[in-house]
Structure 1
Amino acid sequence: MSVRGLPLAILGAGLLAGCVTTAPRAPLPPAEHAAAVARQQAREAVLARHARWNLQGRVALSNGQRGGSGRIDWQQDGDAYRVALSAPVTRQSWRIEGDAGNARLEGLDGGPRSGADATQLLREATGWEIPVQALASWVRGARATQGGPAQLQFAGDGRLARLQQDGWTLDYGDWRLQPAAGVELPMRVNAERDEARVRLVVDDWSAGNASP
């Protein structure tokens, strides 16, 4: 397997299709939009107090030329993270872990690779565009505090439907209350920028037991 041969089964088409959510149909009236923004700010304040969490699910990646899918286990503790992907069919896996200033990628030919930025490390080593640090916020339906200005769009029920930040567009679906966190979290997240796509289906959220 070459360095750019990320060990994910090339089975992404079904998951990529299944993850697509409905884009916001029309802007909410100003008063309803303001109320939705206020609820979003309150959600983000709660999430900031629950900086230790874990998700397990399925992920599909595409860069316009290649696509792959597999299982994902993401552990987060503040700025520290550990993201493991595995392809059950090929029995291969890789893991990236680090914090705000360091990243280490394991599971590729040639041994571990390290760098200061997880996104750049993955891009150079695998060809995949995965904004790891920003996704730590985005996957929970929150704006990335280290990112630029964000645009929010809400569905008719007031839930966050789309977030745009730093050139990425995040679409959300299947919100469910997570008692451990005290807020709703999305079970489906689609992230796109140009030809790069990350599709995530969350099978389980948990809080307070992550230990990167």
Structure 2
Amino acid sequence: MSLPELSVRILVFTFALLWLSGCAYQAQEAPAGSWQAQKTTLTQLQQWQLSARLGIITPDERGSLSLFWRQDRDDYRMNLTNVVGKRVFDLTRRQGQIMLTDHEGQQHQATDARELVLRLTGWDLPVEQLSYWIKGLPGEQDQVEYDADGRPNTILAHGWKLRYLGYTRIDGLWLPSRLDLTHNDTTLRLAISQWELES
């Protein structure tokens, strides 16, 4: 059975994203200008990890997975598991080398993480951009709209539209708790349940 076929079966029988309404941090208000003041700190934050629910909606699939992400400067590990805790895939970047380990333990290498995930699963995930978008940090060329508290509300970049639906305060920083990403006919919904920051 191929990985795309397995992923369809995994997602078809998964609850239809009902967890998004309650499992993440609640949105909180921030003092005006507080996000702008922390922008430099966010840029310098290069070691962190999070746990989240990732909802994936395409014309053929609709379901949710558990996401673990650990960032260590330019390197990362992105692990996705299904509702019963079995690995869907494990994606790592170490010293510029990108490797994906599939559900059968087979390893696949490439120079482009997004292309590799798309080829093996059929899912369009902006892996490299997520490493800073998930912190609520726009790229230098991104189009950004801010909320009433000065935090990113909407980002348009690389054909993606991001909407930040909630923030929470972690170790003095305002970090996203919920965000939606759309690109063509793909929608991703992230509900972050835990952040861990390292100095």
Alignment counterpart, residue 153 of structure 1, candidates 134, 138, 145: 145
Task: Letter of the 2:4 partner, please give it.
Answer: R
Alignment counterpart, residue 80 of structure 2, candidates 85, 96, 99: 85
C-alpha distance 104-200 of structure 1, shift in aligned 2 (>3 A): same
Do the aligned partners of 2:35 and 2:149 also contact (CA within 8 Å) in 1?
no
C-alpha distance 131-98 of structure 1, shift in aligned 2 (>3 A): same
Do the aligned partners of 1:162 and 1:171 also contact (CA within 8 Å) in 2?
yes
> In the alignment, is residue 74 of structure 1 matched against residue 69 of structure 2?
yes
- 1:201 Cα deviation from its structure 2 partner: 0.3
C-alpha distance 17-50 of structure 1, shift in aligned 2 (>3 A): closer
- 1:103 Cα deviation from its structure 2 partner: 1.3
SS at match of 1:114: strand
Alignment counterpart, residue 40 of structure 2, candidates 45, 60, 70: 45
- 1:16 Cα deviation from its structure 2 partner: 8.5
C-alpha distance 47-99 of structure 1, shift in aligned 2 (>3 A): farther
Alignment counterpart, residue 189 of structure 1, candidates 179, 182, 199: 179
Alignment of 1:1-212 (within 5 A): 1-5=1-5, 7=7, 8-10=10-12, 11=14, 13-15=16-18, 18=21, 41-89=36-84, 91-99=86-94, 101-109=96-104, 111-144=106-139, 149-179=141-171, 182-208=172-198
SS at match of 1:13: coil
Q: Could you tell which deviates more after superposition, 101-110 or 186-195?
A: 101-110
- 1:156 Cα deviation from its structure 2 partner: 2.6
Do the aligned partners of 2:17 and 2:64 also contact (CA within 8 Å) in 1?
no
- 1:139 Cα deviation from its structure 2 partner: 0.7
- Tell me the TM-score normalized by structure 2: 0.83
Task: Letter of the 2:185 partner, please give it.
Answer: E
Do the aligned partners of 1:9 and 1:89 also contact (CA within 8 Å) in 2?
no
C-alpha distance 97-177 of structure 1, shift in aligned 2 (>3 A): same
- 1:6 Cα deviation from its structure 2 partner: 5.1
- Tell me the TM-score normalized by structure 1: 0.78
**What's the RMSD between the two structures over aligned residues?**
2.5
Unaligned runs of 5+ in 2: 23-31
Aligned pair count? 187
SS at match of 1:144: coil
